Structure 1
């Protein structure tokens, strides 16, 4: 385990005044200006205002941005800056049509910035890549389906991979998962593989559910909220309304994050006229600690030590022994390991003092009901499983899972990334019950487990994978080890992209490559039986229907459901139980299938589709039904105090944290403002604190490269980065995702889920 550098002059609780800072709160006028800028830059019709007014409301459009919950009693404007940007971006009236592609080769387009590629506008026509012309050329849907079907039928099913981003609704996702299994494989990686798969795999082990246990109601009753590695202001701004209400009724919020993010510090509600004009911002976090990257295990072990010490002073008044004895296993071994951890080691790895951790522990101990919130700062580490295990431990010690006002709550990034898993998109047989597939469709599903994203990439590198079908997303841009993957990608026999806009992945074609335009969430989806609704699941396990309202960008643009059905008809042998045409014509029929497949979660699906606030599909751990191997919640013994794993040694080795900006959603770059961090302009930067700059002999504005410090025989390097002083803990640097993805090895990932370690990769800075 690497020994962290000495703290230097860095303060873990106060901002360094000599580095960039935006002093304005999250929300407020800055948020309104951000929306106005995107509106002004977008070639968008007046219809956009009407759609925004219905966003996240019953029988309106469900936002395609984050997965935060939609309340039963929505605000007048139930959208945030990010949601408005995503909606306006999709409603842009610019068109990447056949004339656009006729004028530009893929070689030319590769010189464009990611922002400019998407800004070219909506895709309108199915296209096939022509290698001789180095261009996408228009084709008919019949031709596209026929050739794709021929290619898939000609290969072993295990040679095909069906990837899905979090965009597609539950209806298309169910059919996509069914198509893969009917074809004979379960190679169904999903965008969750790059972010919250640590949750899906490990939370199941610890408490018997792959998702969080909280609902919106819990935030009305909790006494404390502990945040770990989640940037609410940038990634899920609507959550700030919930936090504001909690604080105003007395809830105490504690945050641990390497960066001091504005949304976790203070917030002004843009819909509160008094607060916008004469009122003071709402202080969100009562205590904020800049933990070192990878130091969350140490923090949580320290918090648990404090709980044990308080229990020793007041036996029976701090730890919930009744809950532990009846509902959990592994407590004694865990308590012994926590007691044995030294404060010197905890301070060294966390970057925090014992007094800071004790201060935070006092808040936890004083709260009857606590919610643990986390984001990718906890999951994207080699030892992300142990990060999550320690957070579960802390909550379990005081019975804070399975009761009102308490629980564990990962905040998902994409609007339906959780829901796609629920309806079968996943590489395991458990993701879609085999007996249901036999009963409903007469198919014999594959027994062999499929590939997740990392396994699929390994298959592309070694030649086992021959086809990559992408239902949305920008997979090649989102992957780790991107240069290696971009080099291997053209060797694929078949690549198919189902997309709304052009992105970087579309510019690296396989031998046969198709670009198929699909409807967006805002578009009207009119099929044989009329206007269709699609549905999605939020982070808190509620299901919502969504009705598009905008005119589609062209007559040839098809829904994701129709495209998946078209691919299925061209690929699979005839089967009267697989009613692709009927399902395309009426999505109610697909929802009936989902309800038949999972009757405990989706009973009366169609009747509940537009229920205000969504309908809750349930969670066993919330009811203290532990669907684990032991039948009880599992305490986890800490085996290390660092989430970084066995990182390379050396005083020049720094821990890289990748970030999303305020002007970004996943790989979509709306602009070049990171307003909430006080950064503007280029994204080609490396952030580092001034003490570390001096230690390493670096100057502000100096151009440097970052080089991966993992010694596996592969050179990974990103050049042209500008040294930018920023308030970060010692021993780490930060920069933007996806620009710095090439520095993270494909094999440097969380051990159980293979989630890439984007928040804790070892790098060196190379001057010149």
Structure 2
């Protein structure tokens, strides 16, 4: 494992005073309105507010401060005093075209949106519009176009109640065009895990974290993306457990941690060393690395049998619960260590060292993030991790399992309640019975298909329930032009973002409440619910004053559009549902009775209530009725070959960022400050190319499809990376990712292995 002092840009441990400083900097940037401290005190607790940042679970035995640096930043950012009123657009410098030169950070710093807005093409500005006029115009346009030409996108923020009605809006309108933000991150999980274990989500529950003997991390960065995970990791180390990490980039949250909730640690600077082994494999090298671990297990099992010792593989579990074992074991035996070393970028000795830990641990949890999902063969990455876990029965028992870490607060839950483009995932028969209509039976568009439809001019209207889609998707420059060519764009938003700056012929920005704000409807202040990464459902109830009397809840905006765009019917009680969200939860329970039993009665349980997971109980909902071993057809997850001058680009987030929201320009945990216009490269690769540290370079996509994709003005920065792997920031690098460069099964963009060239200037 590389020591911290060897890092070219060492910045010290995650957590500690650095975390406190990061929070204070955001406080100074945004100056939150009154109630900010109170909001933090209520976060992730019963009758409080579930964090608007990541989907990390909320423990039943919560601490006094149950939030992390990222959660605090997201809270302060939402509770800002700054307001973007209609007067903003009256400034001579504030045309839509002029604002395209602004940074993402500066757009959001204008503050919370206070009024519904309509784009005026004559003045190139947004102007205030009444809710009634906005809904009427949106409804008229949606009714006038072909039903297949409209798309209803959802980010991972809106609660289960609004999400359920949003899916109902799309289907009563006439299509299943319901792409969602998981299409860009963890759809590979949904498809890949379903194929091999019959569950679209992770298999562990909160108590498993306290019982495991080891975490095996792949492509996940808790220091930046899920800092509350650092506490269970520290607890594991305190009780003598092991953490083995595979990641091309050394991330400080996986190196060391100072617990900010420990007075002793804060006073003394006492660090917990997190990773016992840190393996910097090549981008796209996880298939070979995991195959190497599996080969270690198989060889150890063969040796044990020959010596008459206890088996290493759990053959009883394998025989009872799996299929495909013999073919996979043969592939492990046949794979050469030379091939594994070449494709992974790791040595046989390093992989054997990691394999020894896996074999010695009775209970192992496999943790992963987008470092596994965002590849052309990302689903193979996930299948390989499942192979490793299945060999020793590490799925479906206490302290063991598969743990994908989701990146948005309700991205998993929205899929659970029907925001899905695939009709097989939705109980259409129950919707028909409940609402007396014939739901469309044709699969809708996912994100890739919707963007391709935009490029082809087939998509004419886009409704976005949250998000910043123009900035978030691949092929950004092409997307900007195609987005603006539509008949209608509708953005439900809290702040300005880049998607607003490419308005369609008709464009509306509809401002919504934040999760911390009171949602007063006819029956009082409403609660909303979300689902975390461990399939737990928790309620939130806002307590701060709304930013304006003109903002509406996400649910009320959904029903407002629905009333204007969908023909009235006796079963569609949009006004009643808006008045009382408990009625919507009753509908969800009727539609998904196994997952949401006694929904309204259980939603305030500490830690949330568990909606269940078959694989957690070793119930395999696969066509085979068993968990499936997968024999790899290749030893990397790439969709291209290495070539002279071609690099594997990883896109990554900074410590001052959540998805496309840029809080500032400090990437503290990587020691990078003041700019996002950088590209990281190993010193050896810089020297080999004849470049120099600090030189200005451009990245050019190395794909021959007739499109010129280039990102210039980047400062070349020497960094400890594997040879042939480079890294730069998302979403800026989206201009380099072709829309056709995606996972083969899920169509998740392959943003963790983009073929690029590096050019001077």
Q: TM-score, normalised on structure 2? A: 0.98
Which structure 2 residues correspond to residues 391-410 of structure 1 after superposition, within 5 A?
391-410=385-404
Change (3 A) 1:246 1:689: same
Q: 1:334-392, CA deviations, whole angstroms, 9 ceiling, x for partnerless residues? A: 11112111101110111110000000000000011110000000000001011011000
Tell me, in whole angstroms, the C-alpha distance in 2 between the residues paired with 1:726 and 1:709.
Answer: 22
**1:515 maps to which of 501, 509, 512:** 509
Tell me, in whole angstroms, the C-alpha distance in 1 between the residues paired with 2:204 and 2:147.
Answer: 39
Q: Check conservation: 1:168, 1:560, Cα contact below 8 A.
A: yes
1:41, CA displacement in angstroms? 2.0
**1:86 maps to which of 64, 74, 88:** 74
Which structure 2 residues correspond to residues 485-500 of structure 1 after superposition, within 5 A?
485-500=479-494
**1:477 maps to which of 459, 471, 494:** 471
Do residues 573 (structure 1) and 571 (structure 2) align?
A: no
Do residues 655 (structure 1) and 648 (structure 2) align?
A: yes
**1:678 maps to which of 671, 677, 680:** 671
Do residues 21 (structure 1) and 14 (structure 2) align?
A: no
1:108, CA displacement in angstroms? 1.6
Change (3 A) 1:14 1:248: closer
Tell me, in whole angstroms, the C-alpha distance in 1 between the residues paired with 2:219 and 2:280.
Answer: 10
Which structure 2 residues correspond to residues 396-545 of structure 1 after superposition, within 5 A?
396-545=390-539
1:45, CA displacement in angstroms? 2.5
Q: 1:5-58, CA deviations, whole angstroms, 9 ceiling, x for partnerless residues? A: xxxxxxx74568372111x21000000011111112222233101111111111
**1:188 maps to which of 155, 178, 181:** 178
Q: 1:42-89, CA deviations, whole angstroms, 9 ceiling, x for partnerless residues? A: 222331011111111111111100100001111111000000000000
Q: Check conservation: 1:656, 1:734, Cα contact below 8 A.
A: yes
Q: Check conservation: 1:61, 1:547, Cα contact below 8 A.
A: yes
Tell me, in whole angstroms, the C-alpha distance in 2 between the residues paired with 1:225 and 1:47.
Answer: 38
For 1:164, the equivalent position in structure 2 comes to 154
Q: Check conservation: 2:16, 2:269, Cα contact below 8 A.
A: no
For 1:361, the equivalent position in structure 2 comes to 355
Tell me, in whole angstroms, the C-alpha distance in 1 between the residues paired with 2:31 and 2:229.
Answer: 29
Gaps of 5+ in 2: none
1:280, CA displacement in angstroms? 1.9
Do residues 146 (structure 1) and 146 (structure 2) align?
A: no
Tell me, in whole angstroms, the C-alpha distance in 2 between the residues paired with 1:55 and 1:508.
Answer: 35
Do residues 267 (structure 1) and 257 (structure 2) align?
A: yes
Q: Check conservation: 1:425, 1:431, Cα contact below 8 A.
A: no
Tell me, in whole angstroms, the C-alpha distance in 2 between the residues paired with 1:434 and 1:46.
Answer: 45
For 1:61, the equivalent position in structure 2 comes to 49
**2:579 maps to which of 578, 585, 592:** 585
1:638, CA displacement in angstroms? 1.1
Do residues 290 (structure 1) and 280 (structure 2) align?
A: yes
* Secondary structure, counterpart of 1:314 in structure 2: helix
How many residues are matched?
A: 755
* Secondary structure, counterpart of 2:231 in structure 1: helix
- After superposing on structure 2, the runs of 4+ consecutive aligned residues of structure 1 that deviate more than 6 Å are none
Q: 1:659-692, CA deviations, whole angstroms, 9 ceiling, x for partnerless residues? A: 1000000000000000000000110001001000
Gaps of 5+ in 1: 1-11
For 1:124, the equivalent position in structure 2 comes to 114
* Secondary structure, counterpart of 2:179 in structure 1: coil
Q: Check conservation: 1:225, 1:370, Cα contact below 8 A.
A: yes
* Secondary structure, counterpart of 1:324 in structure 2: helix
Q: 1:409-453, CA deviations, whole angstroms, 9 ceiling, x for partnerless residues? A: 100000000000000011011232111111100111111100000
Do residues 205 (structure 1) and 195 (structure 2) align?
A: yes
Which structure 2 residues correspond to residues 613-692 of structure 1 after superposition, within 5 A?
613-647=607-641, 649-692=642-685
Do residues 389 (structure 1) and 383 (structure 2) align?
A: yes
Change (3 A) 1:258 1:556: same
Tell me, in whole angstroms, the C-alpha distance in 1 between the residues paired with 2:614 and 2:90.
Answer: 54
Tell me, in whole angstroms, the C-alpha distance in 1 between the residues paired with 2:424 and 2:582.
Answer: 25
Which structure 2 residues correspond to residues 718-737 of structure 1 after superposition, within 5 A?
718-737=711-730
For 2:755, the equivalent position in structure 1 comes to 762
Q: Check conservation: 1:80, 1:238, Cα contact below 8 A.
A: yes
Tell me, in whole angstroms, the C-alpha distance in 2 between the residues paired with 1:97 and 1:432.
Answer: 40
For 1:257, the equivalent position in structure 2 comes to 247
Q: Check conservation: 1:338, 1:638, Cα contact below 8 A.
A: no
For 1:231, the equivalent position in structure 2 comes to 221
Q: Check conservation: 2:199, 2:621, Cα contact below 8 A.
A: yes
Q: Check conservation: 1:384, 1:750, Cα contact below 8 A.
A: yes
* Secondary structure, counterpart of 1:238 in structure 2: helix
For 2:743, the equivalent position in structure 1 comes to 750
Tell me, in whole angstroms, the C-alpha distance in 2 between the residues paired with 1:425 and 1:279.
Answer: 46
Q: Check conservation: 1:13, 1:290, Cα contact below 8 A.
A: no
Q: Check conservation: 1:16, 1:727, Cα contact below 8 A.
A: no
Tell me, in whole angstroms, the C-alpha distance in 1 between the residues paired with 2:498 and 2:28.
Answer: 25
Q: Check conservation: 1:15, 1:727, Cα contact below 8 A.
A: no
* Secondary structure, counterpart of 2:199 in structure 1: coil
For 2:298, the equivalent position in structure 1 comes to 308
Tell me, in whole angstroms, the C-alpha distance in 1 between the residues paired with 2:577 and 2:526.
Answer: 11
Q: 1:201-246, CA deviations, whole angstroms, 9 ceiling, x for partnerless residues? A: 1110100000000111001111111000000000000111111112
* Secondary structure, counterpart of 1:742 in structure 2: helix
Q: 1:262-314, CA deviations, whole angstroms, 9 ceiling, x for partnerless residues? A: 10111111110011112621111111111110000000000010000100111
Tell me, in whole angstroms, the C-alpha distance in 2 between the residues paired with 1:592 and 1:725.
Answer: 56
For 2:595, the equivalent position in structure 1 comes to 601
For 2:707, the equivalent position in structure 1 comes to 714
Tell me, in whole angstroms, the C-alpha distance in 2 between the residues paired with 1:488 and 1:28.
Answer: 45
For 2:549, the equivalent position in structure 1 comes to 555
For 1:9, the equivalent position in structure 2 comes to none
Q: Check conservation: 2:640, 2:755, Cα contact below 8 A.
A: no
Tell me, in whole angstroms, the C-alpha distance in 2 between the residues paired with 1:496 and 1:630.
Answer: 43
Q: Check conservation: 2:9, 2:670, Cα contact below 8 A.
A: yes
* Secondary structure, counterpart of 1:600 in structure 2: coil
* Secondary structure, counterpart of 2:732 in structure 1: coil
* Secondary structure, counterpart of 2:584 in structure 1: helix
Tell me, in whole angstroms, the C-alpha distance in 1 between the residues paired with 2:4 and 2:235.
Answer: 26
